[in-house]
Amino acid sequence: MKHIESVKNNKVKQWKKLHKKKEREQSGTFLIEGFHLIEEALKIDGLIEEIIVADDRSIPSDWNLNNVELIYAVPNVLKELSETETPQGIVAICRIPKSNDEAIKPNQRLLFLDNVQDPGNVGTMIRTADAAGLDLVILGEGCADLYSSKVIRSTQGSLFHLPIIRGNLSEWIQKAKEQEIPVYGTSLQNGIPYNEITPSESFALILGNEGKGMAEEHLNETDQNLYIPIFGQSESLNVGVAAGILMYYLRG
C-alpha cells in the first residue's frame, strides 16, 4: 500500500494541478472529493483511477475497489488537495469519459445550456435534469467547465447519472429536430407563456446566459420560444430556478 508523507511529494503537486481546467484537459483526468461523490463515481466501471485518503479516515467496507489504486496520505495532503472549507479527507482521480458518439433517440427529454457561466447554476441544472428524468445534457458554447470542483459539487453526484456532452448547440438542435423532438428556447422578451405548451413525453429545452439570455442565433433555430410570466416586481428568475420550473412542467 502506497503512503504519502508530505505535501511536497510530486504526485501531490500533479494532482493539485487538476484544479485548473487546462491541466484537466491535458491529462484527461479530474479530481472529485468527499465520500458521497466518490461512492457515486465507483458505480461507474473504470471511472476512478486512484483514491487518496487521509490516515485518520477509513474506507467504507462495502466499497468495491477493483482496478482502483488506494493511496493513504498524511491529513495535510488532503487539505492541500481540497477546494472546500471543510475537507472530508478523501479525494479521487477520475478519467474524463471519452466524448463518445452519443446520439439522440426519439422521445427523449433533453436539456441544452447556452453560455451558462456560473458553475453553481450549471451544476444545479444537471442535478435537476437528473431528478426530472432527463436523458441527456448538452453544454454549449461558453458554459462553465463540467469538471471544475464547483460544478461537480453542485451536481451532488448527478454528473455520474446521465450523459453530459460539450458540443455545438446548433448541431444538437438540428439532431433533436431530426428525431422530431420539439425544441423550446427561453427568452424574457419573446415567445409564449410556458404553460400554453402541452406537456409531452419528449422535448429539448434550452436555457441561456445569466445576464444576456440565449444567443439570438439559437433563438432563431428553435421550434418555439417560451417565457415564464413575472407576476411581481422582480426582473427575472435565477436561471437554475427557471430551468426547474420548465423541466418539471414540460415533463407533465
φ and ψ at 17, to 5 degrees? -60, -20
**Measured from the CB of residue 5, what is the shortest distance to a second copy in angstroms?**
35
All 3 cell numbers of residue 108?
427523449
Task: Give Cα separations from 103 to 110, 120, 239 (angstroms).
Answer: 11, 27, 26
| Minimal distance, residue 229 CB to a second copy, in Å | 9
Beta partners for residue 210, in sequence order: none
CB nearer to a second copy: give 77 or 116.
116
Identity of the residue, 60 or 252, whose beta carbon is nearer to a second copy in the bound complex: 252
Smallest distance, Å, CB 131 to a second copy?
4
Please name the residue that has the C-alpha cell 479521487.
92
Q: Which three cell numbers stand for residue 219?
A: 433563438
Cβ proximity of 33 and 85 under 8 Å: no
Nearest approach, Cβ of residue 44 and a second copy (Å)? 12
Cβ of residue 243: shortest distance to a second copy, in angstroms? 8
Cβ partners under 8 Å of residue 150, min gap 6: 83, 119, 120, 123, 144
Residues in contact with a second copy by the rule CB under 8 A: 120, 124, 127-134, 154, 156-158, 161-162, 228, 230-238, 240-245, 248-249, 251
Considering the complex, state which of residue 210 and residue 223 has its C-beta at the smaller distance from a second copy: 210
CB of 68 vs a second copy, minimal distance in Å = 21
For a second copy, the closer CB: 35 or 249:
249
Give the C-alpha separation, 174 to 190, whole Å.
21
Residues 6+ apart with CB under 8 A from 54: 72, 73, 74, 75, 77, 78, 89, 90
CB-wise, 12 or 125, nearer to a second copy? 125
Judged by CB, which is closer to a second copy: 7, or 162? 162
